[in-house]
Structure 1
Amino acid sequence: MATHGTTPPPGRRQGGCLPTLVILAVILGLAYGASKVFDDSGSTSSSSSSSSSSSGGSGGDKASSWNVGDCGGPDPEDAPDGYRALDCDDSGATFKALAVMEASILPDAIQCPAGTDLIIQVKISFGSGGDKGGGIPSKTVCGRNLSGDHPGDAGAGGGQLVKGDCVTDTAQEVACASAAGSGFKVLDLVKDAKQCPSGTTEPMRLTLAIGRPYDVICAARA
């Protein structure tokens, strides 16, 4: 954006080398200032990635380039909800990325694949301060636990709702092991009840949620 202002009147030309020295001093001053702004890599600002299920934890440079198969774990500097990227053989690694998706400010707009145990929102903050609770959402990491505990598996009762899960009559997810006779099995998740597969006995229309990829749970008695 251009800055408008008044143009100063031309100064009176003086003889001698003083103007040359002044110009040289200005150039040296600008060069010194530039050395403070630009680091060795040419970056004008430092950036740190933060990743957590709700706010953010420092993840370093690796966290800003998450890929499927990368691992991570809790960030002790951003407890209790912060996570950071780690090597998969690191003793602190607790999950592996099943999928890496675009970020969204809408909580229901991201649908991770089946088997996702936790959903981590990666945020990027600029500057050396690194506000743990702030930043710009950049990616969503769908993580699966490295341990044998997988609440995101179909029917296990945790994670996002997927085909094969079970719900109550109020559409609350529960473990299928405890839903027999009183709960419903999820046959599909669709936008309109007309899209439900055969065998659906209880199409549950949900309240409107902007960004959610489905509006109806196609269910049958468990």
Structure 2
Amino acid sequence: MRNRRCAGVLVAVAVVLLPAGCRTSSSGAPAGSARSTASPAPAGYGAQFLAVGECSSFGTASFTEVPCTGERAAARVIARYDGTVADGPLCPPSTDFVLHIGAQRTGGGEDGDGTIPQGYACMRNLEPPHPGDPGGGGGPRTVVGDCVYGSGHGQVRETACDGSGKRKPQYRVVRAVTSRDACPASTALYVQLGGEQPVGCARRL
């Protein structure tokens, strides 16, 4: 009978270790910092910096909030939390990447006192590709349908299931369960997913 093993890695997007145990990582998804606009924002966006439903542009070092109907709009906020990724709620499974928002003082502000608190925004690209989708090869979370490969030292990283990534997939997460003993007998690898069903059962491809 094939031995099951546990693999752990560093979360590439958030640069934060998951809790001890089996760990997985996404890779290839954009991540960065967000900054507020200094000038007054047009109606329809900007009342709360990167609130749910608002959009951002893509940048090389930072992301700026822009109107969702504008040409520069590239991704939409699907969830927004204060604090840090390490201490806060998980982003939704469909998240393509995470924007880390540093505490900032501005001329206005979502709190009415000219400050934007530290937080993070879970982003979904307005157009494909969507690396956060199952099998997409990226995103801040590993979900059922995603594929991973061994990256050495007992670690695994996510890669596209269709083989279009830099590394070929070796395992696919086929089920999410509450504990390892609920995985099917064909499980070759345990993957930590987080959430209410934190254990991913992966089979060898």
Q: If the length of structure 2 is used for normalisation, what is the TM-score? A: 0.59
> What residue identity is the alignment partner of 1:183?
Q
Distance 1:220-1:116 versus aligned 2 partners, 3 A rule: same
Matches within 5 A, 1:156-195: 156-160=136-140, 161-169=142-150, 170-178=155-163, 183-189=170-176, 192-195=179-182
Distance 1:140-1:182 versus aligned 2 partners, 3 A rule: closer
> What residue identity is the alignment partner of 1:201?
T
Matches within 5 A, 1:196-207: 196=183, 198=184, 201-204=187-190
> For 1:27-70, what per-residue CA distance to the aligned partner results, in whole angstroms no more than 9, with x for missing partners?
xxxxxxxxxxxxxxxxxxxxxxxxx9434423457274433321
Q: 1:98 aligns with which of 78, 82, 87?
A: 78
Q: CA deviation at 1:193?
A: 1.7
Distance 1:115-1:205 versus aligned 2 partners, 3 A rule: closer
Q: CA deviation at 1:216?
A: 4.2
> What residue identity is the alignment partner of 2:56?
G
Q: CA deviation at 1:72?
A: 1.3
**Higher radius of gyration, 1 or 2:** 1
Distance 1:177-1:53 versus aligned 2 partners, 3 A rule: closer
Counterpart position of 1:57: 35
Q: CA deviation at 1:186?
A: 1.0
* Structure 1, 59-68 or 97-106: larger mean CA deviation: 59-68
> For 1:58-114, what per-residue CA distance to the aligned partner results, in whole angstroms no more than 9, with x for missing partners?
34572744333211113xxxx52311221111111101112223431528x552222
> What residue identity is the alignment partner of 2:135?
G
> What residue identity is the alignment partner of 1:172?
R
Q: How many residues are treated as equivalent by the alignment?
A: 153
> What residue identity is the alignment partner of 1:58?
S
CA distance in structure 2 between the aligned counterparts of 1:182 and 1:64, rounded to whole angstroms: 41
Q: Comparing both structures, which one devotes a greater share of its residues to helix?
A: 1
Matches within 5 A, 1:1-222: 53-59=31-37, 62=46, 64-74=48-58, 80-104=60-84, 106=86, 110-126=89-105, 138-160=118-140, 161-169=142-150, 170-178=155-163, 183-189=170-176, 192-196=179-183, 198=184, 201-204=187-190, 213=195, 216-222=199-205
> What residue identity is the alignment partner of 1:204?
Y
Moved >6 Å (runs of 4+): none
CA distance in structure 2 between the aligned counterparts of 1:120 and 1:100, rounded to whole angstroms: 10
Q: Structure 2 regions of 5+ residues with no counterpart? A: 1-29, 108-114
SS in structure 2 at match of 1:194: helix
Q: CA deviation at 1:190?
A: 5.5
Distance 1:216-1:176 versus aligned 2 partners, 3 A rule: same
Q: Percent identity?
A: 28
CA contact (8 A) 2:85 2:120 kept: no
